[in-house]
Structure 1
């Protein structure tokens, strides 16, 4: 018999995978050179100065456009982030884990 906890855990895995895929798709469709860029970063919106995560979204967007140098200049962790997210999505969708 399948428990409720197992069913919810199964659905949560697919929901998380879909969320990551949607986020990556939105970053791939985003134009990092746009002057109308909107930031969700609380530190940026409050003019707090340095934020360690700022530029990560632009870095991933540049990477999807094939602009590796611009991606690294925007944020050096953009490429590792895509690799980690791709692995996470794979493990969520692979039923052996």
Structure 2
């Protein structure tokens, strides 16, 4: 995708360094594609968000000409190890 389009991954690591249970709150993340009107045909761009918790996919959605929102609350019991969250976004054209 062109450089101006969203593309990449952000990794967040939460350490299990407290003796009490916690909850990780992920505030709303909005993402959307768009409709690009042309003279003879419309072209759409899409945007995908994938969220992984400790490598396991917990969210995977693609928006075309709509807006989607992801938010979450994840339990993190004490003594169960560190947690790694990955947020990956990509965009591309769809005819």
**One fold, TM greater than 0.5?**
no
TM-score, normalization by structure 1: 0.25
Give the helix-richer structure, 1 or 2: 1
Higher relative contact order, structure no. (Cα contacts within 8 Å, ≥ 6 residues apart): 2
TM-score, normalization by structure 2: 0.25
Give the strand-richer structure, 1 or 2: 2
